Amino acid sequence: MTLRIEGVITALVTPFVKGQVDYEGLAQNIAFQIAEGVSGILPLGTTGETPTLSEQERAKIIQLAAEQARGKALLMVGTGSNCTARTIHNTKLAKDLGADAALIVTPYYNKPTPEGIFRHYEAISEAVDLPIVVYNIAGRTGVNIETTTMKRLSSLPNIIAVKEASGNINQIGDVIHEVQNKHGNFTVVSGDDAMTLPLMALGGHGVISVVSNLTPRHIVAMVKAAAKGDYARARLMHFELLPLFKGAFIETNPIPIKAAMQMCGMPAGTCRLPLCELQPAHKEQLRKILEELGLLK
């Protein structure tokens, strides 16, 4: 059966204790996600602080996630970099260690042309037989994948979805209408919690979520309601969670979500440099949001 990307996939934080990866804490977090009913988990994404992890740490994280998710949830692994050869290496490693799919971000810093973007994904698709989800987030990479380029990418055999975090609802609508609706199994999912409901109202299929690290059950319920066309319920949940959606990005992700998880007694730890702790004023603001939602223990 062809893999289909939909529902709620949690972009996992990488918990640290005294600067070292807390593998026991990560295992607890993954078990919590699966018990709460998410469709899948995503280690080694932006939220996982992947650029600060060694290859040995990344491999161990994939192995741990594969063992826990097998037969229970989709395992998508972030394998992208700004080097095509390195991305191919990372994607082969993820496949060998049990990944069901790879999330591959647009090359950052290099600022490739649309043709360069296409050739990057084409080379990966040809080199590794693993379903690929394109990650479009110009705010992180410095380059946006235009709809015309996404059309070309969707024709590649292993490209099955896009994580849309452009923040442009018009572009998102165009991609859903001109790419998803014309390419069978290809799906569009949100890369921004606050955009999940608008994206699904346009025909998208879910979210790769940051906030679900903390409250997966609520995100799953909202996405399920939207998928069933119960927009009245989905809207109520969206507006209830909106302060948290905003609070989770009050500073650079994953600084706020890790702070929120710490406040709620979940394994998260601090961030690795160059990311640092949440500023005191923002920490207090986030605490108030958590109190109002009844999430503090």
Mind telling me the catalytic residues?
Answer: 135, 163
Q: Are 210 and 47 in contact (CB under 8 A)?
A: yes
**Residue 208 β-bridge partners:** 9
Q: Is 250:295 a contact under the CB 8 Å cutoff?
A: no
Is 31 in a helix, a strand, or coil?
helix
Angle of helix 147-154 relative to helix 169-178, nearest 10 degrees?
A: 30
Distance separating alpha carbons of residues 100 and 119, to the nearest angstrom: 23
Give 91's DSSP letter.
Answer: H
Q: What span, in angstroms and rounded, lies between the C-alpha atoms of 58 and 94?
A: 9
Strands 132-136 and 101-105: parallel
Pair of tokens at residue 45: 């994404």
Strands 20-21 and 16-17 come out as antiparallel
- Compute the distance between CA of residue 98 and CA of residue 65 in angstroms, rounded to an integer: 9
Chain-centre distance for alpha carbon 161: 12
Could you tell me if 116 and 146 are in contact, meaning their C-beta atoms sit under 8 angstroms apart?
no
The sign of the torsion formed by the CA atoms of 220, 222, 227, 228 equals: positive
Q: Which of these, 150, 156, 186, lies nearest to 171 by C-alpha position? A: 150
